[in-house]
Structure 1
Amino acid sequence: MARTTPLMIQIATGDPRSIGKQIVDAVRMKIATAEILPGDQLPSVRGLAQQLTINPNTVAKAYAELVAEGWLESRQGLGLYVAPQRQRLSDAERERRLDDAIQRFLHDVIALDFAPDEVQARLHHEFLALAPRKTA
């Protein structure tokens, strides 16, 4: 029997994203950076809700979204597990989402008046800080 992998995530009450969206984003990041691996079992809906002191329905909806997107798989009577790695989006959708993310980033950063070289260097540094976990 697989051991449940604890989800060490935090919910920020001041975050403009909903609590469910924060859970979805946190789980996606943990999978993408290999902090949790394919086959790892996630806490139950009730268990994560108690850990985060939130409504279990919020956790259930977040988990359902992650299952629908292919990040998690439900095993009848056993719980939720990280799904095997596969490309979850078409190449065109991946390109569209990258373009959207870059545009949002630029709109947030441009007003801060940093030199383009400094923005690129800091972005590169942060990206590399996540990359070793993924390739390990």
Structure 2
Amino acid sequence: MAWKFDNNVPIYIQITNTIKLQIVTNQLKPGDKLPTVRDLAETAGVNPNTVQRALSDLESEGFVYSVRTTGRFVTDNLELIQETRLALAQTELENFVTNMVDLGFGQDQLVQQLDDYLKGDLNE
């Protein structure tokens, strides 16, 4: 089944971000072998050159590494994975706070809404 892509963002960036997210959420674990370019391209429903570009970017960023004639593997650099996880969390928090402020919530109200949500009291 082909992946769903946003027309406003280059596909190779979306593939890069998807694989990066799979790494930081431990869906892909350190040392895991990635599918081949051809297999990923078929799964995503895109040209193999697009997948190759995404994987090259991931490799240059340190998220994957190549072993000649064996394939690509997820990095064992846990510091990089954790730093990326925290950076993604920061972005999500910024989006959340911005949206809540746009809805008219002040800081105290925002914290109370979040606290209620985490306690499961939001709809009570």
Runs of 4 or more consecutive aligned structure 1 residues displaced over 4 Å after TM superposition: 102-105, 119-122
> Unaligned stretches of 5+ in structure 1?
1-7, 126-136
Paired position in structure 2 for 1:81: 73
Q: C-alpha deviations, 1:50-91, integer Å up to 9, x for none? A: 1111011110111011111111010001110111133239x8
In the superposition, the TM-score normalised over structure 1's length comes to 0.64
Alpha-carbon distance in structure 2 between the residues aligned to 1:108 and 1:18: 25
Q: Which amino acid aligns with 1:46?
A: R
> Unaligned stretches of 5+ in structure 2?
120-124
Given that residues 11 and 22 in structure 1 are in contact (C-alpha distance below 8 angstroms), is that contact kept between their aligned partners in structure 2?
no
Q: How many residues align?
A: 113
Q: Which among 85, 109, 113 is matched to residue 118 of structure 1?
A: 113
1:31 partnered with 2:27: no
Q: In the superposition, relative to structure 1, how do residues 13 and 30 fare at CA in structure 2: closer, same or farther (>3 Å)?
A: closer
Paired position in structure 1 for 2:122: none
1:16 partnered with 2:11: no
Cα RMSD over matched residues? 3.3
Fraction of identical pairs, as percent: 29
In the superposition, the TM-score normalised over structure 2's length comes to 0.69
Alpha-carbon distance in structure 1 between the residues aligned to 2:113 and 2:9: 28
